[in-house]
Structure formats: structure tokens, C-alpha cells
Amino acid sequence: MTSSRARRYSPLAAASGPIGSDRLALEFRQGKRVGGKIAALLASLTRLGHLATSDGGRTFSLRRVA
């Protein structure tokens, strides 16, 4: 994983389990103001196969492959 990619995904990678978009938004400077954009981005990354969700899109985790 490249360093810029690692920085983008670091809040997800550091999470001990699946994380919701509202909780993830609090990791960023603009917080709740960008919550909707973060939710849309997480849904897009899930469709592309970069993230996984097991509860219909309420929480997300970084896909880890062997």
C-alpha cells in the first residue's frame, strides 16, 4: 500500500472493528459538516470493493486480503 493511500484509509485501518460514517466523520477536521459526503464516499468505495460492510451500509471496514 502506498503511503498516500495508507493515510487516506488510516482511520479505517486503525479501527478495531467496523466503523460508521458518523463516527468516521469525527476523525476529520470538518467533522459532522462533511458526514454526508463521507457516507457517499464510503458507499462508493464499497461498490468498488475497497471496503466491506455486513449490515447494509451502516458500518464499514477496510477489506483485508491475504
What ranges do the domains of the chain cover?
A: 3-62
Rounded mean pLDDT, 23-35: 87
The answer to whether residue 3 scores a pLDDT higher than 80 is: no
Q: How far apart are CA 64 and CA 14, in angstroms?
A: 13
Backbone conformation region of residue 38, classed left if phi is above 0, alpha if psi is from -120 to 50, else beta: alpha
Question: What's the CATH architecture for 3-62?
Answer: Orthogonal Bundle (1.10)
Q: What is the pTM of this model?
A: 0.75
